[in-house]
Amino acid sequence: MKKGSRATILIIEDEDDIRTFASRVLELEGYRVLQASDGDEGLRLARGNQVALVLLDLRLPGRDGWAVLSQMKSDPELSSISVVVFTASAATQQRSQALDRGAADYLVKPLSANSLRESIARILR
Amino acid sequence: MAYYRHLATEWEEMSNKAVRVLLIEDNPADTRLIREILAEDKGSPFKLECADRLATGLACLAQGKIDVVLLDLGLPDSQGISTLVKVQAEALTVPVVVLTCLDDEALAVEAVQEGAQDYMVKGHVDSNLLARSIRYAIERKRAEEKARQLETLKELDQVRSQLLANVSHELRTPLTTIKGYSTMLLDYDRRLGHDEKQEYLSAIDKATDRMAELVDHLLDMSRLEAGLLKLDKVPTNITALLQTTIAEARLRTPGHKIVLNLPKAVLKLNGDGRRIRQVVDNLIENATKYSKPASTVTIEARSQDSELVISVADRGMGIPRENSGKVFDRMFNLEHRLTQEPGGLGLGLALCKALVEAHGGRIWVNSELGKGSVFNFALPREAIAEGEANSEEG
């Protein structure tokens, strides 16, 4: 296992299958994984758990991914955490909007295990 | 597209034929005068029909062969502005020119505000004036209609783009499961246990079912829109249909308690069993989706007068009163789908409504916020011979 792979990743995703997929791949890559199925739970887990990166779905029940992103970027305790958006919307406008608002990467569903792995590794390097 | 064709045909018809005028006027002297004035006109010919009562005029309008109405507001069987309202209710797209007496000009102005295209004061009518007013009324009404049809087209366009956005999102979700799990199985084959692999394969299997269902819904909706969805109506045993449906629903959603209440007598009707089942399935799916696992979903069926009523009750979140009339509306569902969990195309209830109505039935919801919803649909029970019903659905 590479050095630094023990970083903690928080996955905020409401679809069970997709959350399981992402968390299992990242576990197999040696990361520590936390899971949340909505924005509020995600923000709670983001604190005090030494989270290095958040994998964030945009379309969530209640507080959506956009709100979570801006909340994280405006909170001094959370603003240093890298946020990778993971969404079903391929619109370029949304992509640049997400990057403008501080997302480290913008991944479009569907996604292979390899693409997920590489994006995360590149950001945490 | 149908709108464009419709418009084009109307244009052709209008430019080739005589203008068909319906005069609704009870005073024979005024009728004679108008007839003479129109006969004098040197422009395109007018074809005049006369009615001396509103009822006769409305009957004539109902045949749909009138281009413009000349309307006296004071008739034996109707007076004032309500005369105009009744004419508009019968033929919304036909322009109206109101005929008025000199001391009634205020009423005439009110009529124009209510949607009449023009008004003329009796005794001040000459050939030029009347012919011009009639042609302007027709043109103005046509412009209004075109604007209205454009508005409808725009709405239709909005429905389409919203639907497309939802479809692409809804297809991407199961696709993500399939792509994710299959690449994971390929990449980590040796590191995954047998049970875990089985779990992922089964999730892939379910995701493909979900995609197939989405495609079916889309096709049904477009067939319905094009009027191509045909019902296969045969004598159907609804009791057996519900028993099978509920047995399968219990397997699909083991978390919920699904209760079926049926009367002792076997329920039968003439209908398309596959489609009726689709409606019941959809309602049960919604009921389980919008209520907590372990809560109860109750399906009931009963004969009531000449109808067979089936209801699906949940103890879920309920529907706000202001929305309970709109849940069957396609655009409403499409728009709200974007901000609402859980997944779905937003077509389910619109499709249910269309399928029930294709059977000559009706669908409605009773709901209380925080307590739950009861979706009901009633199908007419056409007479079928005893013992003729199939034991299984179509």
B202 in contact with A, Cβ within 8 Å: no
B115 in contact with A, Cβ within 8 Å: no
Contact state of A110 with B178 under an 8 Å Cβ cutoff = yes
Question: Contact at 8 Å (CB) between B354 and B330?
Answer: no
What residue type is assigned to position B7 of the chain? L
Mutation target among B170, B171, B175, B184 for the A interface, most CBs of A within 10 A = B184
pLDDT exceeds cutoff 80 at A1: no
Query: How many angstroms separate the CA atoms of A44 and A37, rounded?
Result: 12
Contact state of A17 with B177 under an 8 Å Cβ cutoff = yes
DSSP state of B310: E
Structure tokens at B157: 């366009």
A14 in contact with B, Cβ within 8 Å: yes
Query: How many angstroms separate the CA atoms of B1 and A124, rounded?
Result: 54
Contact state of B184 with A14 under an 8 Å Cβ cutoff = no
Report CA-CA distances (Å) from A83 to A40, A61, B60: 16, 19, 70
* C-alpha triplet B313, B319, B321: angle, nearest 5°: 120
Place of tokens 């296992």: A1
Please state whether the predicted TM-score (pTM) of the whole model is above 0.90. no
What pLDDT does B389 receive?
46
pLDDT in tens, B86-125: 999 888 889 999 988 877 888 888 999 988 999 888 878 8
Which residues in chain B show pLDDT less than 70? 1-17, 42-44, 330-346, 383-394
B177 in contact with A, Cβ within 8 Å: yes
User: Which member of A14, A90, A112 has the closest CB to residue B179?
Assistant: A112
Report CA-CA distances (Å) from A67 to A8, A34, A43, A76, B190: 22, 20, 10, 16, 40
User: Which member of A59, A89, A111 has the closest CB to residue B180?
Assistant: A111
More confident residue, B328 or A27: A27
Query: How many angstroms separate the CA atoms of A81 and B199, rounded?
Result: 32
Query: Considering only alpha carbons, which residue of chain A is nearest residue B206?
Result: A17
Structure tokens at B260: 């079926």
What pLDDT does B345 receive?
61
Query: How many angstroms separate the CA atoms of B276 and B49, rounded?
Result: 49
Q: Which of residues 96-125 of A touch B (CB under 8 A)?
A: 109-114, 116
CA neighbours closer than 13 Å in the CB half-sphere of residue B167: 16
Query: Considering only alpha carbons, which residue of chain A is nearest residue B343?
Result: A15
Question: Contact at 8 Å (CB) between B372 and B365?
Answer: no
What pLDDT does B43 receive?
65
What pLDDT does B103 receive?
76
pLDDT exceeds cutoff 60 at A23: yes
pLDDT exceeds cutoff 50 at A63: yes
Chain A positions in Cβ-Cβ contact with residue B178 (cut-off 8 Å): 110
pLDDT in tens, B205-262: 999 998 988 888 888 878 877 778 888 899 999 999 999 999 999 998 888 999 999 9
What is this model's ipTM?
0.93
Contact state of B184 with A88 under an 8 Å Cβ cutoff = no
Contact state of A61 with B341 under an 8 Å Cβ cutoff = yes
What pLDDT does B329 receive?
74
Q: What distance in Å separates residue A86's CA from the closest CA in chain B?
A: 11
Count CB pairs under 8 A between chains A and B.
66
What residue type is assigned to position A31 of the chain? Y
Query: How many angstroms separate the CA atoms of B120 and B287, rounded?
Result: 60
What does the H/E/C string look like for B227-282?
A: CCCCCCCEEEEHHHHHHHHHHHHHHHCCCCEEEEECCCCCCEEEECHHHHHHHHHH
Mutation target among A17, A64, A107 for the B interface, most CBs of B within 10 A = A17
Chain B positions in Cβ-Cβ contact with residue A21 (cut-off 8 Å): 176-177, 180-181, 184
Q: Which of residues 358-387 of B touch A (CB under 8 A)?
A: none
User: Which member of B178, B187, B207 has the closest CB to residue A114?
Assistant: B187
Query: Considering only alpha carbons, which residue of chain A is nearest residue B170?
Result: A88
Q: What distance in Å separates residue A116's CA from the closest CA in chain B?
A: 9
B208 in contact with A, Cβ within 8 Å: no
What pLDDT does A107 receive?
96
Contact state of B180 with A89 under an 8 Å Cβ cutoff = no
What pLDDT does A12 receive?
97
User: Other C-beta atoms within 10 Å of B88: how many?
Assistant: 16
